[in-house]
Structure 1
Amino acid sequence: MYPVHIREKSPRRLAALRHAGSFDEIGCTFGQTCQVLEERGLLSQAGCMIAVYWDNPVLVPPEALHSHAAIAVPDAMDIPPPLEELRLTGGRYAVLRYIGPYSGLSKAHQYLVGKWLPEMREIQAEGPVIEIYLNAAMETPSDALVTEICVPLL
């Protein structure tokens, strides 16, 4: 249904804002993250946007979910408040490449965790699930958006 590959991901340094509530509403928090970097003239140094999901939306009610709207940044860059530094450890991940509107991401997540992982006999490791947005929604038609959903593996 969706292409999935197992890959080694490198560690990443992120500038992030905490998001509380439904994962579907993280877009506004991404806007705030970008705005802080833009106001300080740092956005040009930033890399791709990355959502960091700390909770399982199947087990945790939407109002209790927490995540971060983050942007990859170089080690030498200062991270201005209210942004905070997050460090993602690298490691082995199942990576699903999804092409299409963000509204379809939930279905892709369900496929990866509910079908692909069990069929491949892979076990999800501790740590957040991340989404890496490989192109920008402001510059790309919704049917051409490319997102990598990355689940840490044992």
Structure 2
Amino acid sequence: MNRVLDYIDRNLDGQLDLPGLADIANFSRYHFHRLFAAWMGETLGDYVRRRRLEVAAHKLAAGGAVLEVALSTGFGSGEAFARAFKLRFGSTPTEWRNNTPARIAAWLAEIDAQHSNPDQANSKHDQDGGGAAGEHLGSNNHHGARKMEVKVIDLPPARIAYRRHIGPYGPAIGQFWDATIMPWILGNGLAHATCYGIGHDDPSVTPADKCRYDACVEIPEGFEPGGQFSVASLPGGRYAVTRYTGSPRDIGPVWNRLMNEWLPSSGLQCDERPCFERYESLATQTGGSFTCDICIPVKAL
């Protein structure tokens, strides 16, 4: 089923029919629709429509032309795209694109308010803007006094085993690592392997219960994880990388500062590869504070 979700995201501009997706999943075409709905909590058609509109929202926020965005996400015309987009987000595509700075500012202000009020933050952790067990960038929040230190470097591809969590980001992700991933890592002799956390969705756009997160560990050639772990290749290439040391609860404002302050002033833009956190020897990090690199795939404007 993970192969199906990944295939959908890579082919949003193409024909995504039930028989073809059932074949990718190696499931019976007769039963696939029911199995997909039971696993994802929404029908295949609803899922594809939601993903197309969420990806379109991101492309518009990055300044994409409306018709170009519509075609690249599988809509046959600008008119059909505009109708579907307004039904989902309550604004036209052009309004969404033009209002991006104000929308981001409002969302950052809400996150700041949550972090300055622990009781509120704990009650609303499902809306935390981060992705993994937690990381920070080299400053305390997006008002931080210290300049963010970011390096643009080339990273090699990595062969990874991953297990997917679907649900709210925040504390649940840390529990997922502790209860499910780390015992498997230690049991397979991978305690010193590099680990990665990939948050596939933006919680300001995607409903919290639909957010996808992959907990990943680098594996050598020939190693086959089996069970509920899948194998994938994490793309190499050029990334903007910044080192974080800190506690999990500061993840949201720091991710937002990197994406919404550093990136627009860098002369670079994100491409289609996933953003991720990279942890070296995660099994040795204890005490509620840890170190990782936050990696954003970039290309020239």
Do the two structures share a fold, i.e. TM-score over 0.5? Answer: yes
Verify: 1:34 aligned to 2:211, yes or no.
no
Verify: 1:149 aligned to 2:297, yes or no.
no
Provide the TM-score with structure 1 as the length reference. 0.86
Tell me the distance in 2 between the aligned counterparts of 1:60 and 1:102: 21
Query: What is the aligned partner in structure 2 of residue 7 from structure 1?
Result: 153
Secondary structure of the 1:109 match is helix
Deviations along 1:82-106, whole A, 9 cap, x unmatched? 1111211101111121111122122
Contact 1:34 1:43 in 2 (8 A): no
Contact 2:182 2:283 in 1 (8 A): no
Query: What is the aligned partner in structure 1 of residue 266 from structure 2?
Result: 120
Tell me the distance in 1 between the aligned counterparts of 2:215 and 2:222: 20
Show the 5 A alignment for 1:47-58. 47-58=193-204
Rg comparison, structure with higher value: 2
Tell me the distance in 2 between the aligned counterparts of 1:133 and 1:30: 12
Tell me the distance in 1 between the aligned counterparts of 2:295 and 2:263: 12
Query: What is the aligned partner in structure 1 of residue 163 from structure 2?
Result: 17
CA gap 1:135/1:78 in 2 versus in 1, 3 angstroms: closer
Contact 1:16 1:84 in 2 (8 A): yes
Q: Which runs of 5+ in 1 are unaligned?
A: none
Structure 1 stretch 118-127 or stretch 20-29: which is displaced more?
20-29
CA gap 1:140/1:46 in 2 versus in 1, 3 angstroms: closer
Deviation, 1:153, is 0.9
Tell me the distance in 1 between the aligned counterparts of 2:181 and 2:283: 15
Deviation, 1:117, is 0.2
Q: How many residues are paired up?
A: 151
Instruction: Name the amino acid aligned to 2:219.
Output: V
Query: What is the aligned partner in structure 2 of residue 75 from structure 1?
Result: 221
Structure 1 stretch 29-38 or stretch 118-127: which is displaced more?
29-38
- Answer 1 or 2: higher relative contact order, Cα 8 Å, separation at least 6: 1
Greater percentage in helix: 2
Query: What is the aligned partner in structure 2 of residue 66 from structure 1?
Result: 212
Instruction: Name the amino acid aligned to 2:291.
Output: V
CA gap 1:45/1:136 in 2 versus in 1, 3 angstroms: closer
Provide the TM-score with structure 2 as the length reference. 0.47
Instruction: Name the amino acid aligned to 2:174.
Output: G
Query: What is the aligned partner in structure 2 of residue 134 from structure 1?
Result: 280
Instruction: Name the amino acid aligned to 1:149.
Output: I
Identity of aligned residues (%): 25
Contact 2:193 2:280 in 1 (8 A): no
RMSD across aligned positions (CA): 2.0
Deviations along 1:38-94, whole A, 9 cap, x unmatched? 44xx23376122101211223212211101011111112121211111211101111
